[in-house]
């Protein structure tokens, strides 16, 4: 019957139509080099110390000339504070450090005033941190920077920005105030047609010592099953006092984008811990929908059309059966003619 061919063609078209509506996306990540533009490479970007009042600590910084020419590098020590919410440091000029609550620069002494290195040659300098006897418990922050110009008595922020070095974080022992809180926990949308879904976590430090909040975002479906777990602050980023630091998809990879089609209602629970000695918690929760409504609409429309087509074909088939039956019964009801000649 021609109806069978029509039905097969429509079913094939309706099955292929939703598949053509699914799109895929790809993401790329950029990487940046950590070598300074003045041709110097530093062994470690961050040093962490816990020191008692009247105590000292020592360490070394390895320095390598990665340029093509012989250069002389000069170390300088500057206090720093966070700028923005990415953890980037802003170095403070010496004349401004006098009023800085978390000043550390004056406690640091370096072993060399200058070092001349040939291409690919390395050396190391020793630095010593001496904490005064009456130092208050809490955090202190400075950086040992290296430049190609001798230290100036009146420096500028532009000159500092051309230097490369290591950050020094010191925790003076004692009853420091650890107080971190969740400033924001969000995702851009409460309704997604397609994933990925990105998350933003902003932690505020209202204490007087740096903290390292670490933990996870646990994503659960409507049945309470865990479908994904994202690590927060996997790089051990510090949140300095009187500052806010954000963790997001760009800085911390907080994005959920599983392969394949995802539909449903999801809850993302945040749990962070921080603190030295006694662990403290930061929690948060948010929910969102993932509904590819365009695809679902096409599928629903396809099902309705298929259902209507089946009903129409069944009716046509029933009429055809009835018509054939009536035609057959009419032929059976016609008796042979009385005027037929007798058999010879």
Nearest residue to 144 via CA among 73, 53, 202: 73
CA angle at 89 for the pair 162 and 61, rounded to the nearest 5°: 70
pLDDT at res. 292: 86
pTM beyond 0.85, yes or no: no
pLDDT, tens digit, 9 for 90 and up, residues 63-98 = 999 999 999 999 999 999 999 999 999 999 877 777
Give the H/E segment covering residue 169.
Answer: strand 164-172
pLDDT at res. 99: 84
CATH classification of 40-172, choosing from 3.65.10.10, 2.60.40.10, 3.40.50.720, 3.40.50.1970?
2.60.40.10
Q: What SS3 class is residue 71?
A: strand
Q: Where are the domains of the chain?
A: 40-172, 178-292
Nearest residue to 91 via CA among 166, 41, 203: 166
Q: What SS3 class is residue 341?
A: coil
pLDDT at res. 125: 95
Residue 280: which residues within 8 A CB-CB, separation 6 or more?
178, 180, 273, 274
Residue with tokens 């000043």: 103
Q: Report d(CA 279, CA 272) in Å as an integer.
A: 10
pLDDT at res. 190: 94
pLDDT at res. 341: 58
pLDDT at res. 28: 32
pLDDT at res. 139: 97
Q: Which CATH class for the 178-292 domain?
A: mainly beta
Q: Say whether 178-292 and 40-172 share the same fold.
A: no
By the 8 A CB rule, do 56 and 109 touch?
no
Which residue positions in the chain have pLDDT lower than 70?
Answer: 1-37, 153-159, 296, 330-344
Q: State both tokens at 294.
A: 């365009």
pLDDT at res. 34: 38
């Amino acid at each position: 019957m021609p109806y069978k061919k029509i039905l097969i063609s429509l079913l094939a078209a309706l099955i292929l139509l939703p598949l053509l509506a699914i799109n895929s996306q790809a993401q790329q990540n950029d990487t940046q080099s950590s070598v300074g533009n003045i041709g110097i490479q530093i062994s470690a970007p961050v040093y962490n110390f816990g020191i008692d009042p009247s105590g000292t600590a020592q360490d070394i910084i390895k320095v390598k000339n990665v340029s093509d020419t012989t250069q002389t590098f000069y170390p300088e020590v500057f206090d720093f504070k966070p700028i923005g919410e990415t953890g980037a440091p802003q170095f403070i000029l010496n004349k401004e450090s006098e009023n800085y609550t978390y000043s550390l620069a004056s406690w640091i002494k370096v072993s060399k005033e200058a070092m001349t290195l040939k291409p690919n040659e390395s050396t190391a300098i020793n630095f010593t941190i001496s904490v005064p006897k009456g130092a208050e418990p809490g955090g202190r922050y400075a950086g040992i920077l290296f430049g190609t110009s001798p230290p100036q008595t009146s420096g500028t922020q532009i000159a500092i920005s051309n230097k490369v070095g290591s950050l020094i974080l010191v925790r003076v022992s004692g009853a420091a105030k650890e107080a971190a809180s969740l400033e924001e926990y969000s995702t851009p949308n409460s309704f997604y047609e397609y994933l990925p879904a990105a998350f933003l976590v902003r932690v505020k430090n209202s204490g007087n010592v740096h903290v390292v909040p670490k933990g996870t975002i646990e994503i659960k479906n409507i049945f309470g099953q865990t479908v994904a777990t994202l690590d927060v602050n996997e790089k051990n980023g510090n949140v300095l006092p009187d500052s806010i630091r954000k963790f997001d998809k760009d800085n911390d990879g907080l994005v959920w984008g599983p392969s394949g089609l995802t539909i449903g209602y999801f809850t993302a629970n945040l749990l962070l811990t921080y603190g030295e000695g006694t662990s403290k918690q930061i929690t948060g929760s948010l929910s969102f929908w993932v509904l590819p409504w365009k695809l679902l609409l096409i599928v629903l429309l396809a099902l309705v059309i298929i259902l209507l087509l089946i009903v129409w074909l069944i009716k046509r088939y029933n009429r055809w059966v009835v018509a054939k039956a009536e035609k057959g019964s009419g032929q059976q009801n016609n008796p042979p003619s009385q005027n037929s000649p007798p058999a010879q």
